C-alpha cells in the first residue's frame, strides 16, 4: 500500500524585487523558498492514514524542481515520509502546471500508488491545476478541494467532503485509486521533531530524470505546456491612505473614523 | 476555430451569480473578436435556467440534460469536450470556482487545449487570446499566451467581470450528453452551520482578525475589542481552520460574504484573494498590519502599519 504526495517548493518575493531582463519572470535572486502551505496538509493526511493502519503504508513525497527543492523534501522526510523523489533536468524549465502534471503522471505510472494526494493550489501562482491535471492524465477518479476524507487503506471507495463556496460542503463517494486535492484545515499538520529533522538531513533523496521516466522531449517543458508567460509586470494598485504617528495617535484616528461611522464624531 | 463557449454553474436549483459574470467577460471578448457566444447549461432539468441566461450578447443557449443535477467532474468534462469537438470554439470560458477546479484542468490536459486559470483580464492579440492573472501572491501580474493552440480554456476570477444587465432573445437548442461512466457519486450537500452568535452577511460593521493574532489565547481580547466598538467579530480562514472561532465568523470565498458591511477593520489579515472575495466590495476598509507590503493595503481606504495588539489596546481607551 502506497500513498504518493506531490509537493511544491513555492516562491515568495523579497521586498524591492526586480524583473528578469526578458521581462517574463522575477529575477531569481529575489526568490524566497518554502514548502507550499497546502502540502503540509496533504502530507499530514497521508501520515494519519499510515499511522491508523499500523504503519503498513509507504508514504512517498515527490516534487519537480532543481536541487534547492531538496530542502522541502527533507521537511517532509522530517515529518515521517518514507521516501522522497525529486525529478529534474534543465529541459523542465518553462513548464506550466500541465507540463508538470505530465511528469508527475509518468512518475505515478512507475510508482503505482494506491492514492495520490496533492494540495488544492500553490501559494505562489495559485493555478489550482496541477493535481487535477494529473488525475486527468492518469485517467483516475478525482475530487478537488477535499476538506474531509473517510478512507480505509486498500478500500475500493473513499468518501470525500468537498468544501464549496459560502460555508457549504458536498460529500461524494468515489472509486479508488483516486487523486484528491486537499484543502487547508482538513487536519492539523504536525511539526517535525528535532530528531526527525536531524535524521532527514542524512536520508537519501532519489533523483530521477524525465528521460528515465520515459518522457519524450515534446511532452516536457515549454513543448508540453498549454500556456506560456509572455510578460510579467508589477501592476499599479490602489494604496490606502496611511495613518501615521505613534500607536496612540494612529489609534485615536482609527477611533475617530469608527465614531464618524457610528454618527458620533464631533 | 471560432466562437466563445461558456459553461455555467448552478447548485441546489440556483444559478450561481458568477456564471453571469462569465457571460459579461464573454460579451467583451465578443466585442474584441466578433465571435459568437454559446452558453451551455447542464442539469437534470436545464430548461429551468434558460430565462436567466437570455442576456444581451448571448447568441445561443445550449441545454444539456444530465442524469444527476449535482456537479460531477466526469460529466462536466465529457460534455464540455463533446461541445468543443462539435463547435470548435476558439475560447472556452469557465468561472474559477470550486466546481471547475475539479474538471477544467483534466479537460485541458487531455484535450491539449491552451489553458490557464483564475484570470481577471482577457484580451485579443490578432487572432490569439491573451489572459492576465496574478503571480507570486498577487505581487505581479502575468500575461499568459497560448502559442499554437486553436482552442483555449480559461477560468475567470469571480468578482472581476460585470454581468450584462440587458436581456435578449438568443436561440435555444439542446445537445445530447455523451455517455459517461461515473466514477464518483454525489451523496449530500451540507448547508453552512447556523450561528446565533454572529451574522457576518448582515453586519454593517465588522472587526476581523487574522493569522497576525498569533495565539488562540489572544482571540478573547479582540472579541472584547469588537464588542467595545460595536462591531461583529469576523476572521480569516486560518483562525476558523484552527478552531479558534466558529466557521460562521469566517469572511471569504469559503466563508461568508460581508454583504451589508459598510466598515470593515482587518487586523492581522494579509489579504488573500479568497479573503478579499468576501469583503473587497466594502466601501470603508481599514487595515492594521505590521507588513507594509500586505495585499490588504491595496484595497483598504485607510491603513495603519503597526502592531495589532498595541493599536487594539490604545483603541480600547477611546470606547
Q: Kindly state the percentage of chain A with pLDDT values over 70.
A: 99
**Cross-chain Cβ contact B136/A141 below 8 Å:** no
Considering only alpha carbons, which residue of chain B is nearest residue A232? Answer: B142
Nearest to B190 by CA among A137, A147, A47: A147
What φ, ψ does residue A61 adopt, rounded to 5°?
-105, 140
Which of A133, A162, A240 lies nearest to residue B287, judging by beta carbons?
A240
CA distance A203 to chain B (A): 31
B235: enclosing H helix or E strand? strand B232-235
A79 touching B, CB under 8 A?
no
pLDDT, position B1: 78
- Residue A204 in 3-state DSSP? coil
Segments in chain B below pLDDT 50: none
Pair B6, B40: CB distance under 8 Å: yes
pLDDT band at residue A265 using 50, 70 and 90 as cut-offs = low
Residues of B in contact with A97 (CB under 8 A): 105
Residue A22 contacts B where some CB pair is shorter than 8 Å: no
Scanning B9-68 for CB atoms below 8 A from A yields 11, 16
Are the beta carbons of A240 and B188 separated by less than 8 Å? no
* A181–B101 CB contact, under 8 Å: yes
Average pLDDT for A250-259: 96
Q: What's the CA gap between A134 and A264, in Å, rounded? A: 57
Q: Is A29 left (phi over 0), alpha (psi -120 to 50) or beta?
A: alpha
Is-above-0.80 flag for pTM? yes
pLDDT at B136: 95
- The pLDDT value given to residue A159: 98
- A172: closest chain B residue by CA: B186
Q: Which residues of B touch A167 (CB under 8 A)?
A: 191-193, 247-248, 250, 254-256
pLDDT at A54: 84
The alpha carbon of residue B39 is apart from the nearest alpha carbon of chain A, in Å, by: 22
Q: For residues A5 and A118, is the Cβ–Cβ distance under 8 A? A: yes
Specify whether the CB–CB gap between B212 and B271 falls below 8 A: no
pLDDT in tens, A13-52: 998 899 999 999 999 999 999 999 999 999 999 999 999 9
Q: Is A255 on the interface with B (CB under 8 A)?
A: yes
B253 touches chain A (CB under 8 A): yes
As a whole number, the mean pLDDT across chain A is 96
CB contact under 8 A, A12 and B137: yes
Contact B114 A17 (CB under 8 A): no
Using an 8 Å CB-CB cutoff, list chain A residues near B133.
Answer: 125
For the segment A164-176, the average pLDDT, to the nearest whole number, is 96
- Separation of alpha carbons A90 and B72, rounded Å: 38
Rounded alpha-carbon distances, angstroms, from residue B2 to A162, B35, B86, B91, B303: 35, 6, 12, 8, 47
State residue A264's pLDDT score.
80
Contact A133/B at CB under 8 A? yes
Strands, E, within chain A: which ranges? Answer: 2-6, 9-13, 31-35, 58-64, 83-87, 115-119, 142-150, 157-163, 169-175, 179-182, 206-208, 228-233, 241-242
Closest residue in chain A to residue B129, using alpha carbons only: A227
User: Mutating which of A141, A157, A170 best tests the B interface, going by the most B Cβ atoms within 10 A?
Assistant: A170
Q: Would the CB atoms of B183 and A141 count as touching at under 8 Å?
A: yes
Over residues A97-148, the pLDDT tens digits come to 999 999 999 999 999 999 999 999 999 999 999 999 999 999 999 999 999 9
Distance from CA of B260 to the nearest CA of A (A): 14
**Which letter, b or e, does each residue of B62-94 get, where b requires 16 or more Cβ atoms within 10 Å of its Cβ?**
bbbebeebbbbbbbbbbbbbbbbeebebbbbbb
Closest CA to A119 of A2, A9, A229, A1: A9
Chain A: nearest CA to B58, how far in angstroms? 27
Q: Which of B204, B118, B280, B309 is nearest to A240 (CA)?
A: B280
pLDDT for residue A79 = 97
The chain B residue lying nearest A157, using CA atoms, is B184
Measured CA to CA, the distance from residue B152 to residue B108 in angstroms comes to 8
Phi and psi at residue B269, in whole multiples of 5°? -115, 125
* Measured CA distances, B186 to A174, A224, B123, B178 (Å): 9, 33, 37, 19
Distance in angstroms (rounded) separating the CA atoms of residues B43 and B224: 47
Q: Which residue of A has its CA nearest to B190?
A: A169
The pLDDT score that the predictor gives to residue B55 is 97
Contact state of B304 with A242 under an 8 Å Cβ cutoff: yes
When CB atoms are compared, the residue of B107, B140, B247 closest to A167 is: B247
Nearest to B141 among A137, A235, A255 (CB): A235
Nearest Cα to B78, choosing from B112, B118, B111? B111
**Residue A15: per-residue pLDDT:** 85
Chain A interface mutation, best of B254, B286, B293, B302, highest count of A Cβ atoms under 10 Å: B254
Q: Which of residues 184-243 of B touch A (CB under 8 A)?
A: 184-193, 205, 229-230, 237-238, 240-242
Q: How far apart are CA A249 and CA A70, in angstroms?
A: 48
Q: Tens digits of per-residue pLDDT, B197-221?
A: 799 999 999 999 999 999 999 999 9
Q: Between chains, do B114 and A227 touch, taking CB under 8 Å as contact?
A: yes
Predicted confidence (pLDDT) at residue A164 exceeds the cutoff of 60: yes
- Please check whether residue B143 touches A, CB under 8 A: yes
Please choose, from the candidates B55, B104, B98, the residue with its C-alpha nearest in 3D space to the C-alpha of residue B84. B104
Residue A266's pLDDT is 54
Cross-strand pairs, B207: B233, B265
Cβ–Cβ of B318/A251 closer than 8 Å?
Answer: yes
Amino acid at each position: 500500500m502506497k500513498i504518493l504526495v506531490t509537493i511544491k517548493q513555492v516562491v515568495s518575493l523579497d521586498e524591492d524585487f526586480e524583473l528578469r531582463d526578458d521581462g517574463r519572470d522575477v529575477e531569481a535572486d529575489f526568490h524566497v523558498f518554502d514548502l507550499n502551505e497546502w502540502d503540509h496538509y496533504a502530507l499530514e493526511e497521508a501520515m494519519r492514514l499510515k499511522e491508523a493502519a499500523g504503519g503498513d503504508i509507504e508514504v512517498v513525497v515527490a516534487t519537480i524542481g532543481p536541487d534547492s527543492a531538496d530542502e522541502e523534501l527533507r521537511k517532509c522526510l522530517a515529518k515521517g515520509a518514507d521516501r522522497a523523489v525529486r525529478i529534474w533536468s534543465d529541459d523542465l524549465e518553462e513548464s506550466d502546471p500541465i507540463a508538470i502534471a505530465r511528469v508527475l503522471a509518468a512518475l505515478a505510472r512507475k510508482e503505482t500508488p494506491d492514492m495520490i494526494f496533492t494540495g488544492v493550489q500553490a501559494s505562489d501562482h495559485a493555478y489550482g491545476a496541477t493535481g487535477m491535471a494529473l488525475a486527468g492524465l492518469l485517467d483516475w477518479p478525482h475530487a478537488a478541494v477535499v476538506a474531509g476524507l473517510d478512507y480505509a487503506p486498500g478500500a475500493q471507495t473513499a468518501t470525500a467532503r468537498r468544501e464549496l463556496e459560502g460555508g457549504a460542503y458536498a460529500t461524494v463517494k468515489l472509486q479508488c485509486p483516486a487523486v484528491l486535492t486537499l484543502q487547508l484545515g482538513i487536519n492539523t499538520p504536525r511539526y517535525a521533531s528535532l530528531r526527525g529533522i536531524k535524521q532527514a538531513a542524512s536520508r537519501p533523496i532519489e533523483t530521477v530524470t524525465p528521460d528515465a521516466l520515459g518522457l519524450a522531449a515534446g511532452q516536457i517543458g515549454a513543448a508540453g505546456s498549454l500556456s506560456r508567460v509572455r510578460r510579467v509586470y508589477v501592476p499599479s494598485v490602489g494604496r490606502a491612505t496611511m495613518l501615521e504617528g505613534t500607536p496612540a495617535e494612529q489609534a485615536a484616528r482609527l477611533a475617530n473614523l469608527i465614531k464618524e461611522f457610528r454618527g458620533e464624531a464631533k | 476555430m471560432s466562437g466563445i463557449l461558456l459553461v455555467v454553474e448552478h447548485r441546489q436549483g440556483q444559478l450561481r451569480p458568477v456564471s453571469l459574470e462569465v457571460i459579461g467577460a464573454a460579451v467583451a471578448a465578443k466585442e474584441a473578436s466578433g465571435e459568437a457566444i454559446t452558453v451551455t447549461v447542464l442539469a437534470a432539468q436545464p430548461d429551468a435556467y434558460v430565462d436567466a441566461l437570455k442576456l444581451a450578447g448571448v447568441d445561443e443557449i445550449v441545454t444539456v440534460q444530465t442524469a444527476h443535477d449535482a456537479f460531477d467532474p466526469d460529466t462536466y468534462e465529457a460534455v464540455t469536450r463533446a461541445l468543443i469537438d462539435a463547435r470548435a470554439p476558439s475560447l472556452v470560458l469557465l468561472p474559477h470556482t470550486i466546481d471547475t477546479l475539479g474538471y477544467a484542468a483534466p479537460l485541458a490536459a487531455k484535450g491539449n487545449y491552451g489553458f490557464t486559470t483564475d484570470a481577471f483580464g482577457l484580451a485579443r492579440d490578432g487572432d490569439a487570446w491573451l489572459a492576465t492573472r496574478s503571480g507570486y501572491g498577487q505581487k505581479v501580474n502575468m500575461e499568459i499566451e497560448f502559442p499554437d493552440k486553436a482552442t483555449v480554456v480559461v477560468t475567470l476570477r469571480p468578482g472581476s467581470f460585470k454581468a450584462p444587465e440587458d436581456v435578449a432573445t438568443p436561440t435555444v437548442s439542446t445537445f445530447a450528453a455523451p455517455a459517461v461512466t461515473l466514477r464518483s457519486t454525489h451523496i449530500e450537500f451540507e448547508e453552512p452551520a447556523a450561528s446565533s452568535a454572529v451574522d457576518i452577511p448582515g453586519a454593517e460593521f465588522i472587526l476581523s482578525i487574522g493569522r497576525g493574532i498569533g495565539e488562540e489565547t489572544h482571540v478573547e481580547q479582540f472579541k472584547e475589542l469588537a464588542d467595545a466598538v460595536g462591531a461583529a467579530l469576523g476572521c480569516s480562514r486560518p483562525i476558523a481552520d484552527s478552531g479558534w472561532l466558529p466557521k460562521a465568523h469566517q469572511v471569504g470565498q469559503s466563508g461568508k460574504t460581508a454583504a451589508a458591511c459598510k466598515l470593515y477593520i482587518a487586523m492581522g489579515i494579509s489579504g488573500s484573494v479568497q479573503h478579499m472575495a468576501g469583503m473587497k466590495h466594502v466601501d470603508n476598509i481599514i487595515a492594521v498590519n505590521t507588513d507594509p507590503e500586505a495585499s490588504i493595503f491595496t484595497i483598504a481606504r485607510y491603513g495603519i502599519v503597526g502592531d495589532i495588539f498595541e493599536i487594539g489596546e490604545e483603541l480600547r481607551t477611546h470606547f
